[in-house]
Structure 1
Amino acid sequence: MGNRYYQGPVSDHFDGTAFFNPDGTPPRGFRDLVRWQTSGKRQDWPASVGITQTRPEALVEDLRVTMVGHASVLIQAGGLNILTDPVWSHRVSPVSFAGPARVTAPGIAFDDLPPIDAVLLSHNHYDHMDLATLKRLHGRFGMPVLTPLGNDTIVRGDVPGIDVRAGDWGDVLEGGGVTARLLRCHHWSARGTRDRSHALWCSFAVETPAGRILVMGDTGYDRGRPYQAAAEHGPYRLAIIPIGAYAPRWFMEAQHQNPEEAVAGFRASGARHAMAHHWGTFQLTDEARDEPPARLRAALAAAEITPERFRVVPPGAVWDVPD
């Protein structure tokens, strides 16, 4: 079966059908998935965690970030409003009646969103590409979506008329006043069982009037190479870095970094500040809900980095990032 999302020339990370991580580690197969899912080591999560939703201002002149949940963050920077991997749905799954469900409400009620200038969409896994949310955003704001190759086909197929702009690693995309360079990271993609890695994944280096921001999206640590590549396009005022969905390591290491690797990546990126994401909203893996922030605090202490520089911002909370 060919690639129905993208057709293009062979490159150092595309073999003509599927994308891959150069000199990297491919995702685990079905047998390993079954081995993990039947191991019985998944920690219990609460069914729900209460939060206080916030109502953002329409415009912020400096740099403010608000955690919506998981990888969804509202970035307000120099008058621009940017959403990363927006998910307002209850489940992150191909079906609405099963699959990982929210344990926290979105930190911002959908109807309280300020005008959105652009969406950054890192890849097509269900906890990052929520087509129902993209359809709602398109209907309300008509904003551009900036994303790597192949994801544009998926989004257009479900949201007719949406302005979605796709590029390869190294390309610079513009839309809604936002300029974003697509950077390599170590991950994979799939929406089903027959489209593995048929769309690309990426991190973003985002230019804003309030400073440059690194949005890592979803990545394995990969010997630090994604952060070393990102550092070439800094310096960054802020990096938004994943810290969760990492257990068990034998299964998750290639695709999801742990908190200790997140701290190492923060140092390698050269960013002045960081915000943790990709934890605490959907139970995707085995670790307890409160483990990633606890391990992050310990890793920061061991690296002699103050926790004020690398913040854990819960859903609904707001952080005015220092200059």
Structure 2
Amino acid sequence: MQTTTAHVSPQIHNGRFRNPARMHRSGFGKMLGIMWRAAFNKPAGTVPVRPIPVQAMTRTAIETAPDHTVWRLGHSTVLLKLEGRLWLTDPVFTRRASPFSWLGPARFHAPPLRLEDLPPLEGVILSHDHYDHLDRAAVLALAAKTAHFITPLGVGDLLVKWGVPAGRVRQLDWWRSIKLGNVELTCTPAQHFSGRGLSDGNSTLWCSWVIAGATRRVFFSGDSGYFRGFKAIGDRFGPFDLTMIETGAYDEQWPDVHMQPEQTMQAHVDLRGNVLLPIHNGTFDLAFHQWHEPLDRIAALADAQGQRLATPMIGQAIDLAAPHADKRWWQAATAR
């Protein structure tokens, strides 16, 4: 599927979106090798053997929580209460991050609340179209209670095709902003790729987001390899009260599109972040590292470098005004 001609962007080349930097070429043989290893030779420890602790959430608790409250719901799904409104990033509530209900990475834990228990949302903020970030069933369930769906170019077309009213969809290119009430959202670069099938690779854009209220500022990375764009974003929009940056599903075989924890920490520094919330971990088995390794490594880096970390339990509320919540809950789940 080619990118729609309605979108004109410097990121489009020959009908497809691309990263400014040259990417490593995987090759068909390498991809087959990765798939074979994932299917038949996965190392031990990529899935937890003990239940992951989850703090249940209620609609009443969300509605009565003070402004600037943040909840991590799992993987890259984060609920923010900002300027009196609710904003939800990359909502994935499905059991599997896959086009199939019977095959693919299954959740380690249930979401801390049901979709139907979420209060009305001002906005759903999407970073790209991969299955672990864009859940069709969740989007359709949220359509009736969400005022705006804010997406990078092309992803909004997919939502409209699914049945989301076009008037509720806002699509942005990199460095473009939209103000909704007292919150300004800026679509910022990321180094990644897109596609939900065999023929639609890079037909939609991927991005990160700057989410800025009157007094608090949050960065949401989506998925990205490490690149110089983090410093450009930090120079232009930093400092940030909270950076929510991917820390998981990394491997030396795909260095361009996911970061090692050391790169995550450097991205946080580049962005001029106050507190780092590591996301993209603890929910799905998407790589060959042990499930808790991303959290172990980023916590060790924070200790060594004197950086502030927020690692709330799934469903636990933290305050944007003082988001340091370094609970290290995963250590109890891995203790023998």
Structure 2 residues not aligned, in runs of 5+: 323-336
**Matched AA of 2:163:** V
Within 1, Cα distance between the matches of 2:26 and 2:184?
34
Q: 1:316 matched to which residue of 2? A: 315
Q: Residue 205 of structure 1: CA displacement? A: 0.7
Of 179-188 and 73-82, deviating more is 73-82
Q: Deviations over 1:113-164 (max 9, x none)?
A: 232110100000000011110100012x132110110001111111242511
Q: CA RMSD in A?
A: 2.0
Of 145-154 and 27-36, deviating more is 27-36
**Matched AA of 1:43:** A
Distance 1:261 1:146, change over 3 A: same
- Equivalent residue for 1:52, pick from 55, 58, 65: 55
Q: Residue 41 of structure 1: CA displacement? A: 4.5
Contact 1:246 1:252 in 2 (8 A): yes
Counterparts in 2 of 1:152-163, with a 5 A limit?
A: 152-161=156-165, 163=168
- Equivalent residue for 1:32, pick from 30, 33, 38: 30
Within 2, Cα distance between the matches of 1:118 and 1:28?
36
Distance 1:26 1:157, change over 3 A: farther
Q: Residue 314 of structure 1: CA displacement? A: 2.7
Of 47-56 and 256-265, deviating more is 47-56
**Matched AA of 2:55:** T
SS for the counterpart of 1:312 is coil
Contact 1:273 1:321 in 2 (8 A): no
- Equivalent residue for 2:90, pick from 85, 88, 95: 85
Q: Deviations over 1:144-190 (max 9, x none)?
A: 11011000111111124251110110111234653201100100000
Q: Residue 312 of structure 1: CA displacement? A: 1.6
Is 1:226 equivalent to 2:229 in the alignment? Answer: yes
Is 1:15 equivalent to 2:18 in the alignment? Answer: no
Distance 1:177 1:138, change over 3 A: farther
State the TM-score, normalizing by the size of structure 2. Answer: 0.87
Distance 1:91 1:160, change over 3 A: same
Within 2, Cα distance between the matches of 1:119 and 1:63?
17
Counterparts in 2 of 1:174-323, with a 5 A limit?
A: 174-175=179-180, 178-222=183-227, 225-231=228-234, 232-247=236-251, 249=252, 251-305=253-307, 309-322=308-321
Q: Deviations over 1:226-248 (max 9, x none)?
A: 3112111122111111110002x
Contact 2:225 2:256 in 1 (8 A): yes
**Matched AA of 1:315:** I
Within 2, Cα distance between the matches of 1:280 and 1:32?
26
SS for the counterpart of 1:122 is coil
Within 1, Cα distance between the matches of 2:261 and 2:5?
34
Q: Residue 38 of structure 1: CA displacement? A: 2.6
Instruction: Report the number of matched residues.
Output: 313
Contact 1:6 1:150 in 2 (8 A): no
Structure 1 residues not aligned, in runs of 5+: none
Contact 1:146 1:175 in 2 (8 A): no
Within 2, Cα distance between the matches of 1:27 and 1:106?
36
Within 1, Cα distance between the matches of 2:81 and 2:98?
29
Q: 1:43 matched to which residue of 2? A: 44
Contact 2:187 2:207 in 1 (8 A): yes
Contact 1:43 1:288 in 2 (8 A): yes
Within 1, Cα distance between the matches of 2:31 and 2:288?
13
**Matched AA of 1:321:** L
Contact 1:27 1:255 in 2 (8 A): no
